[in-house]
Every structure is written in C-alpha cells, then in structure tokens.
Amino acid sequence: AQTVTQSQPEMSVQEAETVTLSCTYDTSESDYYLFWYKQPPSRQMILVIRQEAYKQQNATENRFSVNFQKAAKSFSLKISDSQLGDAAMYFCAYRPYNNNDMRFGAGTRLTVKP
Amino acid sequence: EPEVTQTPSHQVTQMGQEVILRCVPISNHLYFYWYRQILGQKVEFLVSFYNNEISEKSEIFDDQFSVERPDGSNFTLKIRSTKLEDSAMYFCASSEAAGQRYEQYFGPGTRLTVT
C-alpha cells in the first residue's frame, strides 16, 4: 500500500524567508504523480505544484519548487520569499499512474511571521 | 474562475439518520470524487465516479455509502444510518478528464457532525 509521510506537523517561517516542507512516500510503482496542496483556513484545497515521477526535472511554480528524489522517495516543497498569504496547511499527496486513489499525508501547518 | 461548490457547509444529524451531501462539479468536468477528513487526520479517498459509474473506491466506501449523479449538474454522496465516526469534513472534487495529469479541483467541503 502506498503511504505518504509528512514528518513536520508544524513549521514557521519569517516573512520573505525560505522554508522547506518535507514529504516521503512509500510505493512499489515506477510511474506515479506527486502533489502539494495548500489548504487555507477557508478549507478549500488548492493545488500548488505537481510532479510526474518519470520527469527528472524538479517542478517549479513561481515561488514554489520541489526537490524530487525518486530513489529516496522524497518530495519536499520549498517556498521562497514567504508571504503572509502562504500560511495554511500543506498536504503532500501521491497518486498512482493508473487510478484515481490519491493518498494524502497528514499535513504540515505553516505559520508565516511578519 | 469556475469552482466546485458544496452544500450544505455544515450538516448536523442524529446517529442512525441518512444524510445526502451535495456537490456541483465544474461544468465541463467528467470525473468526480469524494474525500473525507476526520478532524486532525489525513484526507482520505472515498470514491471516484465516471460515466455514471463508480470507477474506484476505497475500503472506507462500504455499503453505507452511495454516490449518484441525479441530474446534469449535481453529484451526491449519501450516507445511510450515520455513525458517530462518520463525523468529518467531506470534500468533493472534479477533474476535466481521465488521465492522471488532470488536476482535481476541490470544493470547500461539508462539515458533517453526527450526534
């Protein structure tokens, strides 16, 4: 069974600084997708970034980037130039290539200090 | 920008009662999903639905649960004979098409409280 582990229940960062959120996963599949979702206090989850396992290049979306280490089954999220609006729960998620059963980690609550 | 909507935002029901949670997916989307998040726990996949059929379901999605697309816009989750442990946030999601590269868009959730 695929599992997703986020070992940091809470993280904090100073505004304008950089923070990295950790995620590891366990799978025997070779093709899959990885995601980071943001869940602000309003509770609607929003996709932040997506990585296809077959791509070696790390995905980047503006201030958000990932460090995807396939052999280590690690998928960390880096937020650069943190903003107050980045404060939220962040969920790492895994989805196999051939079905829609998405597995989420327990989440990391990010606090941004002004 | 189109959004997934869910009603009600909060539902309180007594144990043993049936509840129906409603979702309106994004209009051109073809795949629909339900997830739940028990307070303080992970978001868990329940079921995916395509072409008026369940395409995948998790072990959580037992005979107590059913899904339906009663018309061209709504997607519902019915929970029969609710139990205290069904209390959770229930999220609906939809995606444009089949294939894993299509993003799932989530609704704001319905908080279900079973008393």
In percent, the amount of chain B with pLDDT more than 90 equals 77
CB A10, CB A111: distance < 8 Å: yes
- For B111, nearest residue in chain A (alpha carbons): A43
Q: In chain A, whose CA is at the least distance from the CA of B38?
A: A106
Task: Render pLDDT for B49-68 as a digit per residue (tens, 0 to 9).
Answer: 998 999 999 999 999 999 99
Choose the weakest-confidence range: A71-75, B9-13, B15-19, B36-40: B36-40
pLDDT of residue B81: 95
Q: What is the pLDDT of residue A49?
A: 94
User: Tens of pLDDT along A31-88?
Assistant: 899 999 999 886 688 999 999 999 889 999 999 999 999 999 999 999 999 999 999 9
Task: Name the residue facing B56 among A44, A45, A99 (closest C-beta).
Answer: A99
- DSSP assignment string, chain B: ----EEE-SEEEE-TT--EEEEEE--TT--EEEEEEE-TTS-EEEEEEEETTEEEEE-TT--TTEEEE--SSS-EEEEESS--GGG-EEEEEEEESSSSTTSPPEE---EEEEE-
Does B14 lie at the interface with A, CB-CB under 8 angstroms? no
pLDDT at residue A90 in the model: 96
In angstroms, rounded to a whole number, what is the distance separating the alpha carbons of residues B25 and B48?
A: 13
Question: What pLDDT was estimated at residue B112?
Answer: 97
pLDDT higher for B102 or A33?
A33
pLDDT in the model for residue B80: 96
What is the pLDDT of chain B when averaged over all its residues? 92
Whether A109 and chain B come into contact, CB under 8 Å, resolves to: no
Regarding beta strands B10-13 and B110-114, do their DSSP bridges make them parallel or antiparallel, or are they unpaired? parallel
Query: Model confidence at A2, in pLDDT bands (50, 70, 90)?
Result: low
Predicted pLDDT at B98: 61
Give residue-wise pLDDT tens across range B63-86: 999 999 988 789 999 999 999 999
Digit-coded pLDDT (tens) for A88-100:
999 999 998 877 7
